[in-house]
């Protein structure tokens, strides 16, 4: 029998490959994943797409800088993006790359349709051009200088294909009117309507000055330019020209950040109208996560990375924070302080504590089996009613993508349960028959509430709710539980509880933030493989840190190169371990002219106390860097021994003077 489930297709933007994912990209992808899980729990057959936007000048340049062909560069980047989404548990059902053949074919097909329908023409584009960077510049620096290389720009005219966007002013305005929910939130809709009302200029959709792009068939050297290529990926991912076979087009929801709403709400429907293809049902533009009130960007160096947060408090906590902290659609500030505060209050003390408290009490009083409730008191009934009402409210909020409100409503039930337990005090009741019956009612009520909260929280907290599900001894998976069938009273007495697994261990705020920051620093500026890690061979006299960078078989160097490395005899003054970095020791080393702080990747092989007073070889003129957030000003030389690369410190068999240079 064919699958009768209604289909739901949603997308994130396809992200540029000239950088790696930060918390902003993670946010959109987390939102998409949450909607996907929610919709599946409501019986939909869901496909979620994300991917990588791989063409254009920026990629051309980045590949050139890396000294590798563009195709290799983007393949590496796409893999890094895909890997991160997998690692974070938010993989795409369809990961689309703009270099995929199926995408190339779809773009060429869409172009043909638009052209056949009379919406594409050849014309000339004139703009300011940087002859050094080979690119048109939209926003020149004062004095008509290139924003990248700051050299003078020239006016250049090139042949382009144009899309007749101007023909779509009225059709678009009519479309917005007929489909009032097409652009969300409302404020963005008004912005777009005014923009379109202001008049639309035709759009250049090909270039001849760029090489790295999808060719326009039969029109080389024309290649497609930016948005005609990128937007089409949503369609390529679900069948392209054969979209009807798969049945997911038009998309139900394109999730984007507010930076790219115009392209999605104006260009994209116009391209599709021109090709006479179905138009997506909704574009939702969320706000930005800001760091210290500024948009995160690599050049500002204020980028928050997801991995270090996940390593410290777990992915569920990051998801909870992203969705709970800001109103979906508005900008929000990202702060580690707020993240850890929420983690401790809502997750560790909230849901985590309720789960472990409930399980422990049932374990102790009812041998780990869900008790059968006896006569209900008004407070039990009130709690049941509030929880039942919360189901409706949470679902309604999810439906409107009001994630913060959905979580708020669900967590108010968690708080009510805490209050209930505190006032009913099941632990203070005796073993008398009447008290046992009362205890049974209280604990069944609490466990039932926990079950409902768990089901409702699942789209946001997939891993931890799965653990609570097992703890409650429930069959099947929580992911497969149909939200439409959820109601109070379904918890079967007699069910044996499963294992209590740690959910959200409480963390010390200062320490947690320090560790997240240290890990972030390390990910932003990865240590050279050398410092904490082993070198490949044990034979080199100056192995370890210095030699590891030059594995056996590399080119020879002249004496000039060698003399650039300033190695000196140092004496270790203090040595200690670094919290959260099990391989690193923090040393202070006297190198004759000064005392240096140096981190060394030897903690697994050397006791810090035993190092004090020892003479070591220090690379003194290495640029300072931070390892796990700790400044390291120099490097200690060690041999790398055996297959595991055990570090053995270089030293001397006779007395040497501190500060003496090695030659």
Residues that bind ligand ME8 (CB under 6 A): 13-16, 24-25, 27-28, 53, 230-231, 233, 256-257, 259-260, 288-289, 295-296
Q: Give the shortest CB-324-to-ligand ME8 separation in angstroms.
A: 15
**254: its two tokens:** 């394109």
Nearest partner of 60 among 150, 148, 154, judged by Cα: 148
Instruction: Judge contact between 316 and 468, C-beta under 8 A.
Output: no
Q: In degrees rounded to 5, what are phi and psi of residue 8?
A: -140, 125
Q: Strands 567-578 and 661-662: what pairing?
A: antiparallel
Q: Give the shortest CB-204-to-ligand ME8 separation in angstroms.
A: 17
Q: Give the shortest CB-23-to-ligand ME8 separation in angstroms.
A: 7
By beta-carbon proximity to ligand ME8, the closer residue of 15 and 343 is 15
Q: Give the shortest CB-660-to-ligand ME8 separation in angstroms.
A: 52
62 Cβ contact list (under 8 Å, min separation 6): 18, 73
Q: Give the shortest CB-259-to-ligand ME8 separation in angstroms.
A: 5
By beta-carbon proximity to ligand ME8, the closer residue of 22 and 397 is 22
C-beta neighbour count of 66 within 10 angstroms: 12
By beta-carbon proximity to ligand ME8, the closer residue of 21 and 350 is 21
Q: Give the shortest CB-249-to-ligand ME8 separation in angstroms.
A: 15
By beta-carbon proximity to ligand ME8, the closer residue of 293 and 555 is 293
Q: Give the shortest CB-627-to-ligand ME8 separation in angstroms.
A: 27
Sign of dihedral through CA atoms 428, 431, 432, 438? Answer: positive
DSSP state of 68: S
Q: Give the shortest CB-258-to-ligand ME8 separation in angstroms.
A: 7
By beta-carbon proximity to ligand ME8, the closer residue of 227 and 481 is 227
DSSP state of 49: E
Strand ranges (E), 249-288: 253-257, 283-286
Q: Give the shortest CB-416-to-ligand ME8 separation in angstroms.
A: 33
Q: Give the shortest CB-53-to-ligand ME8 separation in angstroms.
A: 3
Q: Give the shortest CB-427-to-ligand ME8 separation in angstroms.
A: 45
Cα separation, 277 vs 238, in Å, equals: 14
By beta-carbon proximity to ligand ME8, the closer residue of 216 and 237 is 237
**66: its two tokens:** 């890396």
Helix (H, G, I), strand (E, B) or coil at 62: helix
Cα separation, 181 vs 178, in Å, equals: 9
Nearest partner of 606 among 653, 648, 640, judged by Cα: 648
Cα separation, 356 vs 503, in Å, equals: 9
Q: Give the shortest CB-283-to-ligand ME8 separation in angstroms.
A: 11
Helix (H, G, I), strand (E, B) or coil at 370: coil
Q: Give the shortest CB-238-to-ligand ME8 separation in angstroms.
A: 14
Q: Give the shortest CB-234-to-ligand ME8 separation in angstroms.
A: 7
By beta-carbon proximity to ligand ME8, the closer residue of 233 and 410 is 233
Q: Which residues pair with 129 in a beta bridge?
A: 136, 154
By beta-carbon proximity to ligand ME8, the closer residue of 250 and 592 is 250
465-486 core/surface letters (b: 16 or more CB in 10 A; e: else): bbbbbbbbbbeeebeebebeeb
97-116 core/surface letters (b: 16 or more CB in 10 A; e: else): bbbbeebbebbbbbbebbbe
Instruction: Judge contact between 413 and 390, C-beta under 8 A.
Output: yes
By beta-carbon proximity to ligand ME8, the closer residue of 290 and 656 is 290
Residue of minimal CB distance from ligand ME8?
24
By beta-carbon proximity to ligand ME8, the closer residue of 11 and 387 is 11
By beta-carbon proximity to ligand ME8, the closer residue of 12 and 445 is 12
H-run or E-run covering 190: helix 186-197
Looking up tokens 């930016």 gives: 226
By beta-carbon proximity to ligand ME8, the closer residue of 368 and 404 is 404
H-run or E-run covering 545: helix 544-548
**615: its two tokens:** 């003479």
Instruction: Judge contact between 640 and 647, C-beta under 8 A.
Output: yes
311 Cβ contact list (under 8 Å, min separation 6): 516, 519
Strand ranges (E), 25-93: 45-53
**169: its two tokens:** 């002013």
Q: How many CA atoms lie within 13 A of 356 on its CB side?
A: 13
Cα separation, 154 vs 131, in Å, equals: 7
By beta-carbon proximity to ligand ME8, the closer residue of 26 and 464 is 26
By beta-carbon proximity to ligand ME8, the closer residue of 323 and 409 is 323
């Amino acid at each position: 029998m064919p699958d009768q489930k209604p289909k739901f297709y949603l997308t994130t933007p396809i992200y540029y490959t000239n950088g790696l994912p930060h918390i902003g990209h993670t946010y959109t992808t987390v939102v998409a994943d949450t909607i996907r899980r929610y919709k599946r729990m409501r019986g939909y057959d869901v496909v979620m797409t994300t991917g990588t936007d791989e063409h254009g000048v920026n990629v051309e340049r980045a590949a050139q800088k890396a000294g590798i062909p563009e195709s290799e560069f983007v393949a590496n980047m796409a893999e890094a993006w895909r890997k991160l989404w997998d690692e974070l548990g938010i993989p795409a059902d369809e990961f689309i790359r703009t270099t995929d053949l199926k995408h190339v074919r779809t773009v060429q097909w869409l172009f043909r349709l638009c052209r056949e329908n009379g919406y594409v023409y050849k014309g000339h584009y004139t703009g300011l051009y940087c002859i050094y960077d080979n690119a048109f510049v939209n926003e020149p620096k004062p004095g008509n200088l290139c924003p990248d290389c700051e050299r003078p720009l020239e006016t250049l005219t090139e042949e382009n294909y144009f899309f007749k966007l101007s023909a779509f002013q009225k059709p678009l305005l009519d479309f917005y009117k007929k489909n009032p929910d097409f652009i969300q939130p409302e404020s963005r809709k008004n912005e777009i309507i005014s923009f379109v009302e202001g008049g639309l200029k035709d759009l250049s959709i090909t270039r001849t000055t760029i090489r790295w792009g999808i060719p326009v068939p039969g029109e080389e050297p024309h290649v497609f330019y930016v948005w005609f290529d990128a937007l089409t990926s949503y369609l390529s991912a679900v069948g392209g020209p054969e979209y009807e076979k798969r049945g997911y087009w038009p998309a139900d929801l394109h999730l984007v950040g507010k930076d790219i709403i115009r392209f999605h709400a104006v260009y994209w429907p116009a391209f599709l109208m021109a090709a006479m293809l179905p138009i997506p049902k909704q574009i939702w533009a969320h706000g930005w996560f800001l760091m210290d009130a500024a948009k995160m960007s690599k050049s500002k160096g204020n980028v928050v990375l997801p991995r270090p947060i996940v390593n410290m408090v777990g992915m569920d906590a990051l998801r909870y924070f992203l969705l709970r902290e800001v109103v979906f659609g508005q900008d929000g500030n990202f702060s580690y302080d707020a993240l850890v505060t929420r983690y401790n209050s809502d997750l560790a003390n909230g849901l985590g504590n309720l789960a472990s408290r409930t399980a422990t009490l049932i374990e102790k009083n009812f041998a780990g089996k869900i008790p059968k409730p006896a006569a209900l008191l008004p407070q039990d009934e009130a709690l049941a009613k509030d929880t039942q009402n919360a189901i409706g409210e949470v679902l309604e909020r999810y439906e409107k993508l009001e994630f913060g409100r959905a979580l708020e409503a669900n967590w108010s039930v968690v708080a009510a349960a805490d209050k209930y337990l505190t006032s009913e005090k099941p632990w203070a009741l005796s073993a008398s028959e009447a008290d046992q019956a009362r205890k049974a009612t209280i604990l069944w009520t609490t466990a039932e509430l926990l079950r409902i909260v768990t089901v409702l929280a699942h789209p946001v907290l997939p891993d931890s709710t799965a653990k609570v599900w097992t703890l409650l001894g429930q069959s099947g998976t929580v992911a497969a539980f149909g939200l439409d069938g959820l109601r109070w009273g379904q918890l079967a007495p007699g069910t044996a509880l499963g294992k209590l697994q740690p959910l959200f261990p409480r963390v010390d705020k200062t320490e947690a933030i320090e560790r997240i920051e240290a890990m972030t620093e390390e990910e932003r500026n990865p240590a050279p493989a050398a410092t904490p890690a082993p070198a490949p061979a044990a034979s080199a006299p100056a192995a370890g840190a210095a030699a590891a960078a030059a594995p056996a078989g590399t080119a020879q160097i002249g004496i000039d190169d060698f003399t650039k490395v300033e190695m000196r005899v140092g004496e270790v003054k203090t040595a200690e371990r670094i919290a959260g970095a099990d391989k690193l020791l923090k040393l202070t080393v006297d190198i004759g002219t000064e005392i240096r702080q140096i981190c060394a990747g030897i903690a697994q092989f050397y006791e810090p106390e035993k190092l004090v007073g020892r003479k070591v070889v220090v690379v003194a003129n290495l640029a300072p860097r931070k390892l796990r957030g700790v400044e390291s000003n120099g490097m200690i030389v060690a041999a790398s021994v055996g297959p595991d690369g055990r570090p053995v410190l270089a030293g001397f068999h006779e007395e040497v003077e501190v500060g003496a240079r090695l030659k």
